[in-house]
Amino acid sequence: MVEERLDADVVVAGAGTAGSHAAWALANAGFRVALVEARRFAEAGARWANLVPVWPFEAAGLANPEPPEALEEDRSYSMLSLTGPGRTVLDRDKPCVHVDCRLLVERLQSLGRLAGVQGLDCLRHMALEFDASGRPTALTADRDPPDAAPSRVRITARLFVDAAGITGPLRRQVPGLAADCPDLAQDEVCAGANEVCEVADPAAARDFMAGLGLGAGDAFAWTGVRGGYSTIVCHVRADAGTVLITTGSVADGRHGSGVAILKAFKAGHPWIGRGLFGGSGLIPIRRPYDRLCAPGIALVGDSACQVFAAHASGIAIGLLAGRCLADSLAGRQDPGAEESVWAYQSSFLRTHGPMLGAFDAFRRLSVSLSEAEVGDLVGEGFLQASSVRSALGQKLLLPRLVDEGLALARALAHRPGLAAKLAATGARGAAAAALYRAHPAHPDRDALRRWSHGVAAALGGRADVQ
């Protein structure tokens, strides 16, 4: 078999949104980057339409999505209660946009090619080689593209970035890191599904939306459809020509799955026609791992659990992680040295950890709630527009006390039990956020262990670093 030998500064494994963007950002920072992918590049990453906040694009150094990558803007976004007439509506200043992630991945990959990223796809059996200290030094794999002869690839580099998604195939090969990145518990995984479908009967689609007090062009979310952490988000486009449906539920065996919820929703609404594109998969929904690196390796994207836990959204955070990695490593002689990769870990967790930790507290609460309690969250006025904007925009915002205070006070009085749970969740989130701002700035395993135990005490569960 032909053997290909390459030398790079950085190998990024996984050409989805997080990996393609990180590869581009690292190449712009002056590193020689190889981007390696198990599938064909044209099939890498998310193959569905995702709801993504807008602000992280600029923060990640990217232009905002434009059509056709950005899909038609929603006229309004409503959170509807399943148990009553209550609702929360955002009809202006919607902080997010629907993105055709197939086109976003394509954009990021082509930016990388222009910046000199060297790409190798269709790789199988990826294995790391290590030096005596346990630091990875090379990656080997079999390459079997459909249009060329199979080959054996060996790439030496000083840093390997695992951006290969929830399974973390490189992370698992580095013993020191694998031990600190525990397998996900059932309530830390969301089974999601998404499909853009034709509308077979536009009049019936408009009637359905009208029955909810909405019209074509509006979007709505029903949360708690199977209790706790489960949802259906539906957007009938303005011309009632297509509908975008996203479903998901915590994969603990008690809430069904995103695929089952999507199937049932379609079966109950015969106006929904043929599927055009979409997909399904597992999404990590816990706070990011407390350890995002070891000498010679760093994690970005789903592999690092860099996901907004409250609604299982990883696109924006994965982009921000790549920016943070490139900024932390720029100008460093050895991008894989412990000080270099720790600078990334510390910068990412100090900057984005407060928001991710606080919303992980909310995820933990929502997994435990009944259908009725989730209905009350919306129906009784706990979720005011500022909370919905905060969650969709993936930014911590305080309630606007002047116009939202009265509704919140009424909700607190009507549902004191739920109010107490929310107050406890808020306190946990605030404690975690404070800890994130003080993540150890320099390599220090004992300090990291103490920090990890502090975060676990604030949020619940076992510390990552023992």
Ligand X SMILES: Cc1cc2nc3c(=O)[nH]c(=O)nc-3n(C[C@H](O)[C@H](O)[C@H](O)COP(=O)(O)OP(=O)(O)OC[C@H]3O[C@@H](n4cnc5c(N)ncnc54)[C@H](O)[C@@H]3O)c2cc1C
Pick the stretch among 11-19, 79-87, 376-384, 417-425 that binds ligand X (CB under 6 A).
11-19
Beta strands in 94-188 (DSSP E): 96-100, 118-120, 123-130, 136-143, 151-156, 159-162
**Are the beta carbons of 19 and 301 closer than 8 angstroms?**
yes
Instruction: State whether the Cα torsion 373-375-378-379 is positive or negative.
Output: negative
**Are the beta carbons of 353 and 449 closer than 8 angstroms?**
no
Pick the stretch among 128-136, 190-198, 409-417, 421-429 that binds ligand X (CB under 6 A).
190-198
Considering only 25, 164, 214, 422, the residue that binds ligand X (CB under 6 A) is: 164
Q: Does 44 bind ligand X (CB under 6 A)?
A: yes
Taking the least distance from each CB to ligand X, the nearer of 204 and 264 is 264
Q: Does 38 bind ligand X (CB under 6 A)?
A: yes
Q: Does 355 bind ligand X (CB under 6 A)?
A: no
Residue with tokens 């099939």: 43
Positions 237 through 256 that interact with ligand X (CB under 6 A): 246
Question: Which among 288, 425, 435 is positioned nearest to 356, based on CA atoms?
Answer: 288
Q: Does 18 bind ligand X (CB under 6 A)?
A: yes
Instruction: State whether the Cα torsion 90-76-381-389 is positive or negative.
Output: negative
Considering only 65, 112, 165, 256, the residue that binds ligand X (CB under 6 A) is: 165
CA distance readout (Å), 60 to 21, 23, 283, 318: 9, 13, 22, 9
Burial 299-313, CB ≥16 within 10 A → b, else e: bbbbbbbbbbbbbbb
Considering only 28, 30, 39, 89, the residue that binds ligand X (CB under 6 A) is: 39
* Cβ 434 to ligand X shortest distance, Å: 26
Question: Which among 375, 196, 185, 395 is positioned nearest to 310, based on CA atoms?
Answer: 395
Pick the stretch among 30-38, 209-217, 330-338, 400-408 that binds ligand X (CB under 6 A).
30-38
* Cβ 113 to ligand X shortest distance, Å: 16
Alpha helices in 29-100 (DSSP H): 55-59
Q: Percentages helix, strand, coil for the chain, rounded to the nearest 5?
A: 40, 25, 35
Q: Does 48 bind ligand X (CB under 6 A)?
A: yes
Taking the least distance from each CB to ligand X, the nearer of 195 and 373 is 195
Question: Which among 99, 103, 100, 98 is positioned nearest to 42, based on CA atoms?
Answer: 103
Taking the least distance from each CB to ligand X, the nearer of 248 and 381 is 248
Interface map 302-331 toward ligand X (x if CB under 6 A):
x----x----xxxxx-x-------------
* Cβ 150 to ligand X shortest distance, Å: 16
Taking the least distance from each CB to ligand X, the nearer of 87 and 172 is 172
Pick the stretch among 36-44, 145-153, 171-179, 417-425 that binds ligand X (CB under 6 A).
36-44
Pick the stretch among 188-196, 285-293, 359-367, 437-445 that binds ligand X (CB under 6 A).
188-196
Taking the least distance from each CB to ligand X, the nearer of 122 and 435 is 122
Q: Does 25 bind ligand X (CB under 6 A)?
A: no
Taking the least distance from each CB to ligand X, the nearer of 155 and 329 is 155
Interface map 267-296 toward ligand X (x if CB under 6 A):
------------xxx-x-------------
**Are the beta carbons of 279 and 194 closer than 8 angstroms?**
yes
298, HSE (Cβ side, Cα atoms, 13 Å): 35
Taking the least distance from each CB to ligand X, the nearer of 51 and 337 is 51
Round to whole Å and give the CA distance between 81 and 87. Answer: 6
At residue 382, what are phi and psi to the nearest 5 degrees?
Answer: -65, -35
Please give the residue ranges that form the binding site for ligand X (CB under 6 A).
13-19, 36-39, 44-46, 48, 50-52, 123, 126, 163-165, 169, 192-194, 246, 279-281, 283, 301-302, 307, 312-316, 318
